[in-house]
Amino acid sequence: MAGLSLEHIGKTYPNGFEGVKDFNLEIEDKEFIIFVGPSGCGKSTTLRMIAGLEDITSGTLKIDGRVVNDVEPADRDIAMVFQTYALYPHMTVYDNMAFPLKLRKVPQADIDKAVHEAARILDLEKLLDRKPSALSGGQRQRVAMGRAIVRRPKVYLMDEPLSNLDAKLRVQMRAEISKLHDRLGATIIYVTHDQTEAMTLGTRIVVMKDGVMQQVDTPSKLYSEPCNLFVAGFIGSPQMNFIDATVVEKDGAVALAFGSNAVTLPDAKAAALKPYVGKVVVMGIRPEDVVEEHEYAEGKALSEQIDATVTVYELLGSEAMIYGDVDGGQVSAHISATNPVRTGSRIKVAFDVDKLHVFDKDTELAIVH
């Protein structure tokens, strides 16, 4: 396996459009890196430049310390798993997996050993004599991964490999890919637009928007310390609540005022906001950090109570999501399914002020977490 270095990588198309702008990233050996972002953000383009399927306009790409900007894809020692399974329909599972090794003229005994080892890892041993038409979507995707595994490349590249699967299969295959990473000790770069996949799979996540890397960090850091408004809204499901609020100071305390409500900040957060007194900022609070009156818990640093009217109630099984109008904005919150609150209920909520985020209205950068 190997590490990668992307130094000032850029991609500009003939019409002048910049698909990727000044992308810098060091990927260590055996890391599981996720590229995540909305459609058109440049994540697949970056992956294709690593694979050699797209020309690099500017910057330097190194794999295992070797500059590979102008190296042919076949000579980069990478394996790619695509969104579509791209299996040969006339070949059996065994032959599909063995094909890349046959092209390299690997001895038959070594091919047989590699295919059966990959089939054991992916639970495909009983399917080796079947053709793709006789397989389910999840089985076909495992075959496509098996074809990549047998090559034992330095880097595995995966471009939204689960997007064609149904919800249940996606969950199963996420677990399979995670176990696969542990077994192979492989360097994997994985592209997805699904932030749940990103959070559950990656050792580090690269969040992209409009061809620009917004933040790269561990899943827990991205969730708890987003660097800007975009990352805060993209990571987490359902997304963070955002409310425009004015920073006010009274009797030495700093608060965020919106409508007829005010949320007093703890000292640690208040100090960073003193330069913003009198200015409008964006207050962010995740739904799980909004507490409804029936479920006030001890040990949380809760804000003043805020009156809300529930406009939407969504039962999710053991819990429910509520969406409510408050004076000055809207909030969503997780509640227990046994909570009597329903659409139309008048309730009181409070924010866990230790989990409050504040963003600059103009730059959209985080001021406090």
Summarize pLDDT for 102-158 with one digit per residue, the tens: 988 999 999 999 999 888 888 889 999 999 999 888 888 888 888 888 888 889 899
Question: What is the tens place of the pLDDT at every residue in 24-56?
Answer: 999 999 999 999 999 899 999 999 999 999 999
Say if residue 276 is in the same domain as residue 190: no
Same domain, 274 and 244: yes
Residues 192 and 282 both lie in one domain: no
Q: Residues 75, 139: one domain?
A: yes
Q: Which of 232, 265, 285 is at the close of a domain?
A: 232
CA–CA dist 339, 190 (Å, integer)? 40
Query: Please, are residues 96 and 88 in contact by the beta-carbon 8 Å criterion?
Result: yes
> What CATH number does residue 283 fall under?
2.40.50.140
What pLDDT score was predicted for residue 1? Answer: 56
pLDDT at 97 over 90: yes
Statement to judge: residues 121 and 265 lie in one domain:
no
Q: Are residues 120 and 172 in the same domain?
A: yes
* DSSP-assigned letter for residue 133: G
- pTM over 0.85? The answer is yes
Give CA separation, 161 vs 32, 88, 164, 240, 267, in Å. 15, 17, 8, 27, 46
Q: List the CATH number of the domain containing 160.
A: 3.40.50.300
Q: Band of the pLDDT at 266, cuts 50, 70, 90? A: very high
Do 58 and 73 lie in one domain? The reply is yes
Torsion-angle region of 185 (φ positive above 0: left; ψ -120 to 50: alpha; else: beta): left
Contact 204, 235 (CB under 8 A): no
Last-in-domain residue among 202, 232, 262: 232
82 with 206, same domain: the answer is: yes
Alpha-carbon gap, residue 13 to 19, rounded angstroms: 7
Q: What is the pLDDT of residues 178-197, one digit of tens each?
A: 888 888 888 999 999 888 88
27: containing domain: 1-232
The answer on 107 and 153 residing in a single domain is: yes
For residues 199 and 186, what is the distance between their CA atoms, to the nearest angstrom?
18
**In total, how many domains does the chain have?**
2
- Above pLDDT 70, what percent of the chain? 100
